Structure 1
Amino acid sequence: MKKHLYILIAILTIISCKTEVKERNGKLKIVTTTTMITDMVENIGGDKVEVQGLMGSGVDPHLYKASEGDVSKLFNADVIIYSGLHLEGKLEDIFEKMRKQQKKTIAVSDAIDKSGLISSEYFASSYDPHIWFHIGYWKQATQFVIDELKKIDPKNAESFEKNGQEYIAKLEVLATEIKAIIETLPIEKRILVTAHDAFNYFGKLHNFEVVGLQGLSTATEAGVQDVQKLANFIIEKKVKAIFVESSVPKRTIEALQAAVKSKGHEVAIGGTLYSDALGNAGTVEGTYIGMYQYNVKTIVNALK
């Protein structure tokens, strides 16, 4: 499969050398990777851009492999916007080939100073890539994308700035709302147990102890010892609920629940959280703001 993709890349490269990049109907054609980025770029670009997202609801970016159709979309784009920090680990080779062909690529994680990132031995980048769960960081990423698009498409700079600032204002309102909801949950109950460590930036921002059964990447598997160790932690800390993630199979959390029960204790599954992808398009949870609100209400209600 990988060989076929590289052959397709070579063919498209030859074609692209003979064809100037043109805007379609005066609109910049942008290809994004994750649903969070797609939502952000649609808010910034408005009707001045055409946005194609590679990944849909429930898709795990850690494991995502590009199809031949994806490679074609990437080559035909004017701009590629992706998360970075090896979140889309299996696409890194393709991104590198795009850069070598002078394709404009933007990694939103470049907006965040490395001193603010959480170190992680699980990734080649050495950092946890789940930055969207820190609303402050997502605001920085939004401003970064605004500035980059203004450079690429100066004639629509005013529109990008206006739309982008309106979106940032909504993120500021979100931050205030979320803080008020979380403050109803006592500090000692702020223990978040999920399928994998996607929520460490959330924990950093909102003072939660976050424990994932798998590592930061869903490519890592939880062993029997991991399950037993976490089961003991849940019992010791009197954790009321644990959570499934929409983009990760729920069997690991169900195994954890069973392990707790085998030790004579009970822990509820508090609900499904959106971690590496938003909800279905057209729903409230299909937006970044709606996803964040849903997650927080689900967490707080289950842990109270």
Structure 2
Amino acid sequence: MKKIVFAVIILSLALSCTNNTASTGKLQVVTTTTMLTDLVKNIGGNFIDVNGLMGSGVDPHLYKASEGDVTKLAKADIIFYNGLHLEGKLVDVFEKMASQNIKAIAVTDALDKNTLIGSAYFASNYDPHIWFNIGKWQQITQFVVNKLSEAQPQYQEQFQQNGAKYLKQLETLHTTIINKISSLPENKRILVTAHDAFNYFGQAYGFQVVGLQGLSTATEAGVQDVQNLAAFIIDKQVKAIFVESSVPKRTIEALQAAVKSKGFNVQIGGTLYSDALGNAGTEEGTYIGMFTHNVTTIVDALK
């Protein structure tokens, strides 16, 4: 908590002495998660400067702003963040910025709350992992196009063109995923991961999704949670379980050991990207590449 308060204080000082006009003359945009960084770069192209706070493998649930991050935020013209308490440690910072006339925009404001997955155990009452529903990501794409166009109307045509191109790529991705998943029998569509990041994916593509931890990785799994899930895996004869790139793999390894102690072998089917993309410059470092990797890994391991 002290670190958050410190960040807010630093932000206030920076705002008091910082002019948001960059030397490049371009709109300065800050994004939180890697998924948003990739999206905004696809839409903004060379007409904006994008600074992402979080890198590959970073868990947004637990992320805390550094002094360098605060400087980026203070210089921003627009900040895009997920919302729905995904970036729980940054909420105080965003609230402070709202009073300083910096546009901090939660992209999930684009979505009808009635279409979100609720949770009685999470602070926002909604599952924040909306990027695993491509339809919702398409809505957010158009939302970002509109917000950038409002900020720089002279580039509205370019933003609209980039957005339309990206929306077509997302539609192709959706078709590719459906074709891949169709090769997996329905009774094998059970996805067991470290935490509940894949519920929107499961809802969209017909998977039963079970996470060892809750919606936030700040929630730790207990011994009984491990034992209960081990019994479920044996009962359903689940062939493989999955590590997540932004969550320590020891939780899944403990689950695998618990299953083995009961006389059943379950494989670790590979690593999935959940709360962050892969390394920059790789296929998995893009939203489309990440989604393709995840589905290929899941289907191939569960067959």
> TM exceeds 0.5?
yes
- Per the alignment, residue 154 of structure 2 pairs with 155
- TM-superposed deviation, 1:108: 1.0
Contact 1:122–1:217, Cα closer than 8 Å, also in 2? no
Residue identity in the other structure for 2:9: I
Contact 2:116–2:127, Cα closer than 8 Å, also in 1? yes
Choose the corresponding residue for 1:5, options 1, 4, 7. 7
- Per the alignment, residue 45 of structure 1 pairs with 44
Instruction: Name the CA distance, whole Å, in 1 between partners of 2:259 and 2:9.
Output: 50
Superposed counterparts of 1:264-275, under 5 Å: 264-275=263-274
Residue aligned with 1:140, SS: helix
- TM-superposed deviation, 1:23: 4.7
Choose the corresponding residue for 2:17, options 15, 18, 23. 15
* Structure 1 residue 250 corresponds to structure 2 residue 252: no
Superposed counterparts of 1:69-84, under 5 Å: 69-84=68-83
- TM-superposed deviation, 1:11: 1.2
Contact 2:192–2:209, Cα closer than 8 Å, also in 1? yes
- TM-superposed deviation, 1:105: 1.5
- TM-superposed deviation, 1:25: 2.4
- Per the alignment, residue 171 of structure 2 pairs with 172
- Per the alignment, residue 238 of structure 1 pairs with 237
Unmatched segments (≥5 aa) in structure 1: none
- TM-superposed deviation, 1:22: 2.1
Instruction: Name the CA distance, whole Å, in 1 between partners of 2:250 and 2:24.
Output: 47
Question: Once the two structures are superposed, what CA deviation does each residue of 1:205-250 show, in whole Å capped at 9, x if it has no partner?
Answer: 0000000000010000000000000000000000000000000000
Residue identity in the other structure for 1:77: A
Contact 2:4–2:64, Cα closer than 8 Å, also in 1? no
- Per the alignment, residue 91 of structure 2 pairs with 92
Indicate the percent of aligned positions where both proteins have the same amino acid: 66
- Per the alignment, residue 136 of structure 1 pairs with 135
Question: Once the two structures are superposed, what CA deviation does each residue of 1:58-101 show, in whole Å capped at 9, x if it has no partner?
Answer: 00000000001101100101110010000000000000001111
- TM-superposed deviation, 1:113: 0.5
TM-score (ref. length: structure 2): 0.98
CA RMSD of aligned residues (A): 0.9
Residue aligned with 2:105, SS: strand
Instruction: Name the CA distance, whole Å, in 1 between partners of 2:107 and 2:196.
Output: 20
Residue identity in the other structure for 2:62: L
Instruction: Name the CA distance, whole Å, in 2 between partners of 1:172 and 1:73.
Output: 33
* Structure 1 residue 185 corresponds to structure 2 residue 184: yes
Residue identity in the other structure for 1:147: N
Instruction: Name the CA distance, whole Å, in 2 between partners of 1:217 and 1:120.
Output: 11
The number of aligned residues is: 301
Residue identity in the other structure for 1:7: I
TM-score (ref. length: structure 1): 0.97
Contact 1:195–1:243, Cα closer than 8 Å, also in 2? yes
